[in-house]
Structure 1
């Protein structure tokens, strides 16, 4: 298996454990005051469509540059928000760097044997991991694996930011992994579920240019229906230097309530 595939499975698990229907409902005003921003109501092509893709697999293979929908397409498109380039452009050398690569240090030779780069972009590879047809799955590069590991950490931390990740939810998360996940990946997920919430550490581990993507997958892991979760996202956004309008734009693309009013 791979961290990319594990990310896909945990994304499904988080959607189930935290309540996909709650995540998908729209909202009018923001949950945090004191800043102006666009309301984040639901719109076509938003999180409802995206979760449908997660749970039903991605249809259509697409050529290089082809898969642009679903979660993968959303993350790729967010890449231009900071730094002007696409997500794939920002991943060059990530597995050998000090950011997300640090997440993989305890896994020894996990990255050995994987190509450093891939002809497919991150979104294509992630979308292929949601596909129920194994032949359509694209092998991720080392850099893409490192990014997927960081996104896993962000999503799992966000899911427990309200302090309600109980044993039943843990079982739902782990149950989505099935028999495909290997021992290293299962241990990684277990370890992340047991760690305390630490926004500052996550910010420090996020390479420059990936802030909007890591923030977006954090929103994925949250129901965003109480102040504890809103405060968590507020602190994360501030740590990444995201403006209120940027944050509300991300929420609008996900079809979830705005953070700021």
Structure 2
């Protein structure tokens, strides 16, 4: 059974702006989004780094050079961004101010990348398509990014997350554990 969600998210700054603000740091997200606008053919087919290592290299402030994401890693970044945008729209509102906030937090993006992001913003929320596009075993990670993108304070958002978790075959205990780790109210009672 879904929890009754009427209150704000527990545990500090939430929502898409909070996540992107925390991630963007000094570098912005432009480097990670390098292939989103259809330029993935410029990315190396593979590299010796995990997606997490690539993500960290884009946002840390160490003098180490950024790791160039592979085509698969850029595709995963695109999927994560699409999941965040869908989640942000799941409550039925995604106004111009929210869209501008997202673009601002992404940092420097080129015209192709901005077009990709705008296209994602204009797409309808489609949980089934998101689940189909998610590589096997990546459901919990995509679910987590979706959860980070919202405040989880409406029934529509809870219903969206329930549909997403169900699509990935996630057990209620697994979902609630993710929520607990993020300091967000449980989805299931």
Structure 1 residues 255, 57: CA separation in 2 closer, same or farther (over 3 Å shift)? farther
- Determine if the alignment matches structure 1 residue 204 to structure 2 residue 123: no
Q: Which of these residues, 86, 105, 112, is aligned with residue 41 of structure 2?
A: 112
Residues 83 and 146 of structure 2 are in contact (CA less than 8 Å); yes or no, is this contact kept in structure 1? yes
Q: CA RMSD in A?
A: 2.9
Q: Give the 3-state SS of the residue equivalent to 1:225 in structure 2.
A: coil
Distance in 2, matches of 1:223 and 1:187, equals 26
- Determine if the alignment matches structure 1 residue 256 to structure 2 residue 178: no
Q: CA shift at 1:175, angstroms?
A: 2.0
Q: CA shift at 1:209, angstroms?
A: 1.0
Matching of residues 52-131 of structure 1 within 5 Å: 54=23, 56=25, 107=38, 110-131=39-60
**TM superposition score normalised by structure 2:** 0.80
Residues 20 and 102 of structure 2 are in contact (CA less than 8 Å); yes or no, is this contact kept in structure 1? no
- Determine if the alignment matches structure 1 residue 175 to structure 2 residue 104: yes
Residues 24 and 105 of structure 2 are in contact (CA less than 8 Å); yes or no, is this contact kept in structure 1? no
Distance in 1, matches of 2:168 and 2:135, equals 10
Structure-1 residue corresponding to 2:81: 152
Structure 2: unaligned runs, 5 residues or longer:
12-18, 28-34
Residues 85 and 149 of structure 2 are in contact (CA less than 8 Å); yes or no, is this contact kept in structure 1? yes
Structure 1 residues 213, 174: CA separation in 2 closer, same or farther (over 3 Å shift)? same
Q: Which of these residues, 90, 95, 99, is aligned with residue 161 of structure 1?
A: 90
Distance in 2, matches of 1:131 and 1:173, equals 20
Q: Which of these residues, 142, 149, 172, is aligned with residue 71 of structure 2?
A: 142
Show CA shifts across 1:161-206 (max 9, x none): 001211111111122234x211111101001111111111111111
Residues 41 and 252 of structure 1 are in contact (CA less than 8 Å); yes or no, is this contact kept in structure 2? no
Structure 1 residues 184, 216: CA separation in 2 closer, same or farther (over 3 Å shift)? same
Q: CA shift at 1:251, angstroms?
A: 1.1
Structure-1 residue corresponding to 2:165: 237
Structure 1: unaligned runs, 5 residues or longer:
1-29, 34-39, 43-49, 59-102
- Runs of 4+, deviation exceeding 4 Å: 50-53, 55-58, 132-135
**TM superposition score normalised by structure 1:** 0.59
Show CA shifts across 1:122-157 (max 9, x none): 111111212356853211111111111111110110
Q: How many matched pairs?
A: 172
Structure 1 residues 193, 53: CA separation in 2 closer, same or farther (over 3 Å shift)? closer
Q: Which of these residues, 26, 31, 35, is aligned with residue 3 of structure 2?
A: 31
